[in-house]
Structure 1
Amino acid sequence: MIRERIEAQVLGLTGLALGGIDFEQPAGDPGLFGPDSAAWRVHGDFTSMLVGGIAALMLQMLHPLALAGVWDHSNFRQDMLGRLRRTGQFISGTTYGSAADAERLIARVRGIHEQVRGAAPDGTPYAADDPDLLTWVHVAEVSSFLAAHLRYLDPGLPGAEQDRYYDEISLIAYRLGARAVPRSRAEVAAYIARMRSQLACSDRTREISRILLDHPPAVSVTARPVSRIMMQAGIGLLPDWASAMLGLEQGPWRRRAVERSVHAIAPVLRWAVRNGSAHRARRRMGLPARAQARI
């Protein structure tokens, strides 16, 4: 019963909780990337993707226009779990779903973006389908996913594979309407360096950080301590300049303690998603389950 409860709680954090996608059909459909892709490799570990997703959200919210869109048009503050599930479904569906399911998810998000328009507190207009804004959101996300993968699953991932990941995953950004998407580690680093002058930490940014830290998304009260650890791991994954802007710096001792905690929890989380979207997609392709590295 305890094992079943843990499994249900962990899967409840994922996009599988929303239903609507059969990752095992149609047989033989490789989707947008396929099982030999770097995207399947990097996105295949729930633990690192969860940590990376937290870091990505905090990084994204440092852009005033990205923050304004979420603040004005999202119920994120009232329904963090729902937002986590929807984001998870989009990422897993576009990575591991059939080509038709991936294209359907992309079309749905594009339709939502067309409706998100407004003005930031300083009067600057924003639109969720602005190509430059889409590029920022994408880069903040995928750079955080890769950073988490390197820290919590495979620190020895070759540089060529890291570049291949950025190159492959740019497809999603372009399909959503982004432009000039960086497609290698060097291009991502240069892009983030250029963007830093446009970033800021406002009262709204701090409010979202406070909500995340005080009320981390969890399926139940008993799962909240684990969510708090993952939240701290997300903070620890941020670039030093970003955590300084947010006032969330972690000293070396605290960061090491958080990392040890995540490594201790990770085997349970990985066990709980042993029938997750990546595993189902491998069955769709007629492939055996692939054991994840244990680090």
Structure 2
Amino acid sequence: MTPDNAPDGAPASRWSDLDRPPLNVPALRRGLLVPGSLWTSLDVVTATGSTNSDLAARAASLPEGAVLVAEEQTAGRGRLDRTWSAPARSGLFFSVLLRPGGSVPAESWGWLPLLAGVAAATGLARSAGTDMSLKWPNDLLVTVDGEERKAGGILAERAGDDAVVLGMGINVTLRADELPVPTAGSLALANAVSTDRDPLLRAVLRSLEHWYGEWRAAGGDPAASGVQEAYAAGCATLGRTVRADLPGGRSFTGEAVAVDGQGRVVLVAAGNGERIAVSAGDIVHLRTAD
């Protein structure tokens, strides 16, 4: 189908949709790469397989704070290598390079994807005017027609001994007929007041810089930094009865009552009061129980 803005007879181009303009790279750099900022470089590519993979491959030669953004991601990955795809320029697909070592012990790095969830939810709530919530451990939720839908995901991966590549995929302007699955959503479908990707990206990165700075200053302590409290306040999983599907075909059903100091979700069985703490690395699925 030829876009509305294409001249008569012109070939259709996925890059000529005025509803999905390209990111303004010079403006983004002016706003984010300032003295004293965490962000040290920002590159935008037209398309790539995975920004996480690309940034991890270059991690050894880059300083902390490198940002890589793709207008289109063709082989985006989520947790457990689940795929993430969306039309070109329909969302924010980016990765950042962080080096928390030195001030934060490695055993606390598991909080990074949860911290990123807090940062994305707070940044998008302010800039897009959309209520956001978090599904443990790494999903961003919006409400579409009264139903919770996944509009974003987060993936953190080690890149050598001292670095972490933190990636995000956020659906911004996806229409209903473009959703990869019926349970997905987007900021546009959630009636966001703004879907301009430039201010949305700036807001998320500035929010991430804030929360990462607080967390590092506290030596990775999620309670002292306020990250644990903020995550719990925005986590839609807490207070619900959920079923945790575990490796080996095992499952556990209970009320999600807390996220502990290690970032694990704590479940309590209704019948016998059995209590378990499940880490993101131990779980295959976490679903609301029927």
- TM-score tier, shorter chain, comes to 0.3 to 0.5
Structure having the higher strand fraction is: 2
**Highest relative contact order (Cα 8 Å, sep 6+), 1 or 2?**
1
Greater helix fraction, Structure 1 or Structure 2: 1
Q: What is the TM-score with the length of structure 2 in the denominator? A: 0.32
